[in-house]
Amino acid sequence: MNWLRDHSQDTICAQSTASGEGAIAVVRVSGPKALVVTRSLAAFLPEFPESHKIYFGYLKSRSNQDLDQVLVSYFKQGHSFTGEETLEINCHGSAALVNQVLAELIYFGARAADRGEFTFRAFMNGKIDLVQAESVLALIQSQSLEMAFEAGRQLKGGLSVKLEEIEKNVLFCLAHLEANIDFSEENIQSISPTDLARKGFDIAHEIRALVTSFERGNILAGGCQVAIVGMPNAGKSSLFNLLAREERAIVTEVPGTTRDSIEFKFNLGGRLVSFIDTAGIRQAAETIEKKGIEKTFLWIDRAHLIFYVVDSGLGLQEGDLEILKKIDLSKVILIFNKSDLIADHQLFADQMLCWLEISGIDSKLLLKPGFLLTSALNESDLNVIEQWLTSTLVQKTGQEPTIVQRRHFELLVQALEKIEMACTKIIEGESPEISAFFLYESLSSIHQIQGKSVTDDVLDRIFKEFCIGK
């Protein structure tokens, strides 16, 4: 659909609850003729109903047949989600019945809503901005409570307010630059170039914070990916099974048992976590195992967190040190597994950390506290890992506002680039026209996020992801 052109005056209808059998189904009707159309079936509704009031009665078909006993809520124009006159019919949740109700509504003048059309109308009627419209979708699709909360905050306008603030500050800088362009002869200098550049860098700082929050957003939306890696036989699959609470991966005493990566998702205190068991890293493996090890390295790059598992019976091996030297340690925690095989845990851990330092690996870079001692044979050690994970995830996801949409992320990266460019030009003493050009570009990216300047295909991409009825 051509979103910008087809913002028509039609009255639309759709089932807003999930399809299939249910106790109740909600059919939504929105548009200028919503009341007239609905009253054709629901004659019990008054000619002038009160907004936000629920009415009880029987729906009748065009052939005057009783359809269902229903509750109908009325929302007057300007006071509904879409901003249009809207009615919500709560009928019994039979698919056949709902289809008949929709057929009657269409017969009396409504049309079936397109995907996301209710939310699109809310956006076009200025009830919500594009960020909020997208957050409706994120809320519906959220797989964890934390993600639902974040989407809810965005729907309330958390991110929108932040973006408005950034927009206002960019406009402030632009106004001053424009003044310098227009009144250059009079030499008005309300704000010095240094102060202007400083203001610009402050804005850049704010945008950068949003850009970096995208990693948190990713964790919220798709779950935190934890790769379990290490040398063969360290007990990775055993730990994976312990975390999954079932025998998901094959465990044997033969090194190289796990060849492919296996993933397992679960909800930890409202946060989505996904563990990935990987093939142990070693040289001279045969073809299939080699392929598995290549995948392990992909996961090392991609994962948000890495459990680097070490066989405590053997301690850190030369192979471990080589791998650790190549990994970004800021996302690694060492798991000294098979701790049942050693007597003095503290002494062992101290020795290992010493060994790391001697080998030129800075253990302070590791995620705090650097290591956990576990035994995959001991079920209660599950708590040790989960408690550590919970507190680490709180730090990783606990701040707001957070960027969860890739579209926002990409536009913010552009906005940041352009504003930094503008600041550099100001400092370099370039003509105000050039700095203003970059500020306009930055502003345009912000406007695209907000939906203040947005193309049809962007709208198409956003609203087509919605389900019908939302």
Give me the residues that bind ligand GDP (CB under 6 A), please: 232-238, 251-253, 257-258, 280, 337-338, 340-341, 375-377
Q: How many Cβ atoms sit within 10 Å of the Cβ of residue 161?
A: 11
For residues 33 and 337, give the distance between their C-alpha atoms in angstroms, rounded to a whole number. 68
Closest CA to 29 of 92, 97, 96, 111: 111
Give the strand order in the sheet containing 332-337: 262-268, 271-277, 224-230, 305-311, 332-337, 371-373
The token pair at 399 is 């701040």
Q: How far is the CB of 260 from ligand GDP (least distance, A)?
A: 12
Q: Is 169 exposed, middle or buried (0-12, 13-18, 19+ CB in 10 A)?
A: middle
Residue 135 binds what, of Mg ion, ligand GDP, none (CB under 5 to 8 Å, by partner type)?
none
Report angle CA 91, 97, 98 to the nearest 5 degrees: 65
Q: How far is the CB of 249 from Mg ion (least distance, A)?
A: 6
- Interface stretch with Mg ion, choices 95-103, 203-211, 253-261, 341-349 (CB under 5 A): 253-261
Q: Which is nearer to ligand GDP, 253 or 344 (CB)?
A: 253
For 158-225, give the DSSP string: HHHHHHHHHHHHHHHHHHHHHHHHHTTTTT--SS-HHHHHHHHHHHHHHHHHHHHHHHHHHHHHH-EE
Which residues, 6+ apart, have CB-to-CB distance to 435 below 8 Å?
177, 422, 423, 425, 426
- Over the range 243-262, which residues count as b (16 or more CB within 10 Å of their CB) and which as e? bbeeebbebeeeebbbbebb
Residue 93 binds what, of Mg ion, ligand GDP, none (CB under 5 to 8 Å, by partner type)?
none
Residue 341 binds what, of Mg ion, ligand GDP, none (CB under 5 to 8 Å, by partner type)?
ligand GDP
One character per residue 203-242, x = contact with Mg ion (rule: CB under 5 A): ---------------------------------xx-----
The type of residue at 153 is R
- Interface stretch with Mg ion, choices 49-57, 58-66, 152-160, 258-266 (CB under 5 A): 258-266
Residue 238 binds what, of Mg ion, ligand GDP, none (CB under 5 to 8 Å, by partner type)?
ligand GDP
Q: Which is nearer to Mg ion, 237 or 339 (CB)?
A: 237
Closest CA to 466 of 10, 159, 16, 156: 16
Residue 447 C-beta-side C-alpha neighbours within 13 Å: 12
Q: Which is nearer to ligand GDP, 228 or 361 (CB)?
A: 228
Q: How far is the CB of 352 from ligand GDP (least distance, A)?
A: 16
Q: What is the size of the binding site for Mg ion (CB under 5 A)?
A: 3
For residues 391 and 468, give the distance between their C-alpha atoms in angstroms, rounded to a whole number. 39
Q: Which is nearer to ligand GDP, 16 or 257 (CB)?
A: 257
Q: How far is the CB of 223 from ligand GDP (least distance, A)?
A: 22
- Residue 425 CA, distance from chain mean position: 35
Residue 253 binds what, of ligand GDP, Mg ion, none (CB under 5 to 8 Å, by partner type)?
ligand GDP
Q: How far is the CB of 319 from ligand GDP (least distance, A)?
A: 13
258: contact with Mg ion by CB under 5 A: yes
C-beta nearest to Mg ion: residue: 258
Q: Which is nearer to ligand GDP, 285 or 436 (CB)?
A: 285
Q: How far is the CB of 373 from ligand GDP (least distance, A)?
A: 10
Q: How far is the CB of 278 from Mg ion (least distance, A)?
A: 8
Report angle CA 88, 91, 93 to the nearest 5 degrees: 120
Give the strand order in the sheet containing 66-75: 53-60, 66-75, 86-93, 22-30, 12-15, 111-112
Q: How far is the CB of 318 from ligand GDP (least distance, A)?
A: 17
337: contact with Mg ion by CB under 5 A: no
Residue 451 binds what, of ligand GDP, Mg ion, none (CB under 5 to 8 Å, by partner type)?
none
Residue 17 binds what, of ligand GDP, Mg ion, none (CB under 5 to 8 Å, by partner type)?
none
Residue 82 binds what, of Mg ion, ligand GDP, none (CB under 5 to 8 Å, by partner type)?
none
For residues 242 and 379, give the distance between their C-alpha atoms in angstroms, rounded to a whole number. 7
Q: How far is the CB of 279 from Mg ion (least distance, A)?
A: 7
Q: Which is nearer to Mg ion, 199 or 236 (CB)?
A: 236
Q: How far is the CB of 72 from ligand GDP (least distance, A)?
A: 59
Q: How far is the CB of 312 from Mg ion (least distance, A)?
A: 17
Q: Which is nearer to Mg ion, 116 or 235 (CB)?
A: 235
Closest CA to 308 of 264, 354, 363: 363
Residue 162 binds what, of Mg ion, ligand GDP, none (CB under 5 to 8 Å, by partner type)?
none
Residues β-bridged to residue 87: 29, 74
For residues 126 and 130, give the distance between their C-alpha atoms in angstroms, rounded to a whole number. 9
- Positions touching Mg ion (CB under 5 A) are 236-237, 258
